[in-house]
Amino acid sequence: GNSVTQMEGPVTLSEEAFLTINCTYTATGYPSLFWYVQYPGEGLQLLLKATKADDKGSNKGFEATYRKETTSFHLEKGSVQVSDSAVYFCALRSENFNKFYFGSGTKLNVKP
C-alpha cells in the first residue's frame, strides 16, 4: 500500500538555523512527492514537488530531493526565519490513481 511517515514534532529552532524534516514513503509503483505547508488558521499550500527519482524540488529557500533508493523526500532549508513557523506535510500521489497520501505533519517553531 501507500503511506508516508514523517518525523514527529514540534521542531523548535532559532532563526537562521538549518532545518531538516525527514520524510519516508512506501508506495506501489512510481509516485510523485510533495511538501505542503500550513500556516495557522489556513489551508494547505503547495511548497514544492518532485515527480521522478533524483529530481530536486525547490521553493522559497526550501529544497527536497526524491531519493528512490532510500524512499525518502527530506525537506531542508539552510536558514530558517520566524515566518517559516508552520506545519509541514509530506505527501505522495500514487502512480495509478489521483489520490494523495499525507504524513501526519511536523510543526516547526522558529524563535527570534
Partner 1 sequence: DAEITQSPRHKITETGRQVTLACHQTWNHNNMFWYRQDLGHGLRLIHYSYGVHDTNKGEVSDGYSVSRSNTEDLPLTLESAASSQTSVYFCASSERTGSRTDTQYFGPGTRLTVL
Footprint of partner 1 (CB under 8 A): 32, 34, 36, 42-46, 49, 51-52, 89, 91, 93, 98-100, 102-105
**In angstroms, rounded to a whole number, what is the distance separating the alpha carbons of residues 29 and 107?**
29
Nearer to partner 1, 38 or 72 (CB): 38
Give the shortest CB-54-to-partner 1 separation in angstroms.
14
92 within 8 A of 36, measured Cβ to Cβ: no
Give the shortest CB-31-to-partner 1 separation in angstroms.
9
Nearer to partner 1, 37 or 110 (CB): 37
Give the shortest CB-65-to-partner 1 separation in angstroms.
16
